[in-house]
Structure 1
């Protein structure tokens, strides 16, 4: 049984999974998935665990309904999502004022709870040029420990057509009191649809 099922599959508040995963005391020796979940949620991200592609579709439609984004403009560069967007009457062809970005990502960075992107997902857009709402579809196999591991994965994955514009998005809600670590970053309302593939 995967960790995600242990954490999110139980309705019992005294379950073993909740005892193992404390939101108040992250363990640096914890598995990557626990580290990522803790840091991602601490940064303000919204996490939706999915066991199969049917659940991805269902959760995507729930997000559209929750935010009233049906029949809206969407920024999306990846053809694998076009049929999903067509089914929900979302315009991605000539989107002038997109409500959200729908994309994959390169990796999920556990030690800081961030999402690693490249030009393969966001072209040459800087994070502050992207819509303030983002929906990311990722797989559990994309979890890695740190940014340097992410750069190594990108280097191995794209031997010839190396992507540009490699960046991370870390803050998913506006901080009440910003400190120097958030300087130059733009907070995004981010939903992560995480598909179990291990």
Structure 2
């Protein structure tokens, strides 16, 4: 049984968001597995996490997010052709959107030690985080979870021998801080949904 089924139960992946309190009792330590650390820190940062066992659950959860937010037939910012079919099925325009409601993307990696999402120009082109829509839906796999940003840069170097991407950045804050301090300076809080695919 996977870690995610143990934590969130076997029947309803949509219930992951609702079980914050149950999971909040658990605080990982330095010896905890990367996936546990990532999920704890990601949720602590205000991210919304939906576990998916397969591509049909990705599709189902994506449609649930659209329905929950009334985003059907809106515009999305999306630069990755492998995601276009999900947008087409839901009549969401991604061809030169003038006012995109959300960013729909993959990512380079998920950073466990700070619960952040690592992007490059492959997903967000040359946009800075504060230039992206406030709403973001990310599809990622458990195998993309790594420990730190420096590990993320190493993975990118190995993955892209040619056509090395630019604009490598992370998004860490997924809700506006009640009291902003210097660690939030220059950051832009996002309403972020992560559809995390079991790929082991």
Q: Do Structure 1 and Structure 2 share a fold, with TM-score over 0.5?
A: yes
2:145 paired with 1:155: no
CA RMSD of aligned residues (A): 1.6
Aligned to 2:2: 2
Aligned to 2:78: 76
**How far, CA to CA, are the matches of 1:108 and 1:190 in structure 2?**
13
**How far, CA to CA, are the matches of 1:23 and 1:144 in structure 2?**
23
| 1:23–1:38 CA contact under 8 A, matched in 2 | no
| 1:105–1:116 CA contact under 8 A, matched in 2 | yes
**How far, CA to CA, are the matches of 2:27 and 2:123 in structure 1?**
34
Aligned to 2:115: 113
Q: Deviations over 1:87-139 (max 9, x none)?
A: 10000002100000000000000000000000000000000000000000000
Q: Deviations over 1:16-65 (max 9, x none)?
A: xx9xx653533221100110010000000000000000000000000000
Q: How many residues align?
A: 191
2:194 paired with 1:192: yes
Give 4+ residue runs of structure 1 displaced > 4 Å after superposition.
none
Could you state the TM-score of these two structures normalised by the residue count of structure 1?
A: 0.93
Aligned to 2:100: 98
Q: Deviations over 1:157-196 (max 9, x none)?
A: 0001100000000000000001101100000000000000
Could you state the TM-score of these two structures normalised by the residue count of structure 2?
A: 0.92
Matched ranges for 1:161-180 at <5 A: 161-180=163-182
Q: 1:10 to 1:197 in 2, by over 3 A?
A: closer
SS in 1 for 2:65: helix
**Selected match of 2:55 from 37, 50, 53:** 53
Aligned to 1:183: 185
**Selected match of 1:125 from 94, 114, 127:** 127
In the TM superposition, what is the alpha-carbon distance from 1:10 to its structure 2 partner?
A: 5.3
**How far, CA to CA, are the matches of 1:175 and 1:8 in structure 2?**
26
| 1:120–1:163 CA contact under 8 A, matched in 2 | yes
- Is there any run of 5+ residues in structure 2 with no aligned partner, and where? 12-19
**22-31 vs 132-141, which deviates more?**
22-31
**How far, CA to CA, are the matches of 1:94 and 1:107 in structure 2?**
26
